[in-house]
Amino acid sequence: MLATSKHHKNRDVDEILRLAVSSSSAGVYEDEGASQDSLVDVGAMPFGPRDRKPLAWVTCLHYGALSALMTEPEHRRRGLARLVMEAAGRSMASQGYVPHAYVERDNEASLRMFSRMAGWRRVHDAIFMHT
């Protein structure tokens, strides 16, 4: 979470942690009983265990925004962030929201991921104002 906070220049780690605890989220956990990789049904993903750390995770905000996407460094470039974004996006859409995400211009990994995902497109740039 500390490494991810670099993309939230105006939020400290404690604020990101409060967001994570108080909001719903989608995450991917390692199945220690699996003997090989297998396809995942995004529409039927079970709840993850509270006592385990997810490999990839995203917060789902109440108005359809997907925020604070994280993937543990040793599990990057395996499609896990894309998987949680697809699951979270479908969840938000099923509730009537328009799934969307705010990505900072210098977050090249997220921009690259979104550019490869069906249905996601860049619609405009924004300037965030903070106190």
Q: Binning pLDDT at 50, 70 and 90, where does residue 91 land? A: confident
Model confidence, pTM: 0.71
Q: Binning pLDDT at 50, 70 and 90, where does residue 43 land? A: low
Cα–Cα distance measured from residue 125 to residue 100, given in angstroms and rounded to the nearest whole number: 13
Share of the chain above pLDDT 90, in %: 24
Q: Which residues are within 8 A (CB) of 40 and not within 5 positions of it... i.e. 6 or more apart?
A: 83
Angle ∠(107,2,40) on CA atoms, nearest 5: 70
Q: Binning pLDDT at 50, 70 and 90, where does residue 99 land? A: very high
Give the model confidence (pLDDT) of 50-68 as tens digits.
677 788 888 888 788 888 8
Cα–Cα distance measured from residue 20 to residue 37, given in angstroms and rounded to the nearest whole number: 28
Domains of the chain: residue spans and CATH: 4-28+53-115 (3.40.630.30)
SS3 for 20-37 is: HHHCEEEEECCCCCCCCC
